[in-house]
Amino acid sequence: MVQTRSAGKKHDADQTTLGQKIERQPKKAKVTKKKHTHEKASKGKRKAKEEEEEEEEPDKEEKEEKPSVSKHEASAGTKPKDKESSSQTLEKGLVYFFFRPKIDVETPHDADADIQRSYIVLRPIGKNEKLGDSARDAENDKTRIIEIPKKKLPATGRHDRFLTFVPKGCAGMVLKEVRERLCEDVNETKTKGTRVTPAARPEGEGVYSIVHDGSTTHFAYMLTVPSEPADVQKAFNIRSQGSFVVSVKNPETKQPPQARGLPQAEYPKEVIEKFRQRSWAPLEPEFMSYDHAQILFIGEKGDVADELDKAEMEEIEKLEEEDEKRMKHLGEEDGVFKDLKLTKDEFPEDALEGTWVQSSQGQVMDV
């Protein structure tokens, strides 16, 4: 009887051990399945995140190539030496800011409700050319217009990002073409009669510099007129100075939602190759020489001095001082009209003084 009980106990113990093994095995398999499911979900999330970053963060590729900054350098507010040595001014010149009221709106007073579009007008100058010489050259066909569908510049300090584009026929213009593009437009319609699109109104003038730091391109500007931003300038996020990371979209890749349906730039093969099969590339002036170029402006956290190295900062400051003297000689606000050969009858000047104004009509000055 003792042996039987021992054998029974041994049998029960063996059964218990076997049962434990059987119970453990499915648990192990379950854990493995859960792990596999988690890895699959993580992989899916990573893929979705990568696709999102490819479309929404065109500057990421450039950021990854930037030299790292030590904690000490970051806290001291200094830039890596590599950035200073590789920084290069790609283009500089005069910049003008305009806004156009909506159809039949004669007294705009709200940037969101009453404005149709805003524009950045760029007039580049040669490496050894003076600002005054460029401003007087009415036949210079390098002037460009960049259209801002969202009306305002991206707010700095929050990394706002706005997609802009070069409208058809605006990649290289003489002053007469600039005026024709910005002037009042009257159309006769069968249903609503005469519709008037008011002339675009100047709201600021200054200097700009497009700088490549070895991995990223920056668009920096300094405002000359008005000397201090007022209500109108603040409504459009125009500051005394500003800096943006600027990238250009590859027309051969998937378009961002806000650009779908818009005409695409037709770059030649040698320009397309500069994208290196990427969706975005750091802006180069050459890209803006083609109609429908799509340019993304991303507001930077700091002022111009925080984004440019010492040499580039000194260059744009020197340019701004030269422009300030030039504008004082021309008569502040009058300088903008003289530069672009506009008249105050058709292009109201009050926005330059920071106030909203009624529209008026007149003739454009002949060149």
Tell me if 175 is assigned to some domain. yes
Give the strand pairing for 294-299 and 217-225: unpaired
The answer to whether the CB of 351 falls within 8 A of the CB of 232 is: yes
- Per the domain annotation, does 192 fall within a domain? yes
Boundaries of domain holding 254: 80-353
Across 26-35, 137-146, 153-162, 238-247, the highest mean pLDDT is recorded for: 238-247
Q: How far apart are CA 222 and CA 239, in angstroms?
A: 8
Torsion of CA 202, 204, 210, 215, to 10 degrees: -110
H or E stretch covering 97: strand 88-101
220 located within any domain: yes
- C-alpha–C-alpha distance, residues 147 and 162, integer Å: 11
Residue 131, domain member (yes or no): yes
Per-residue pLDDT of 231-280, as tens digits, reads: 999 999 999 999 999 999 999 998 878 777 889 999 999 999 999 999 99
Rounded Cα distance, 144 and 147, in Å: 10
Are 332 and 324 within 8 A, CB to CB? no
Please indicate, yes or no, if residue 48 is contained in any of the structural domains. Answer: no
163 vs 294: CA distance, rounded Å: 7
Of 99, 91, 183, whose CA–CA distance to 143 is shortest?
Answer: 91
Q: Could you give the number of structural domains in the chain? A: 1
pTM listed for this prediction: 0.74
How far apart (Å, rounded) are the C-alpha atoms in residues 267 and 66? 27
Residue 148 lies in a domain: yes
Question: How confident is the model over 82-132, as pLDDT tens digits?
Answer: 444 578 999 999 999 999 999 988 888 899 999 999 999 999 998 778 776
Percent of the chain at pLDDT exceeding 70: 71
- Any domain includes 248: yes
Residue 352, both tokens = 């330059």
Q: Which two three-digit tokens encode residue 323?
A: 């422009």
Residue 46 pLDDT exceeds 60: no
* 125 in any annotated domain: yes
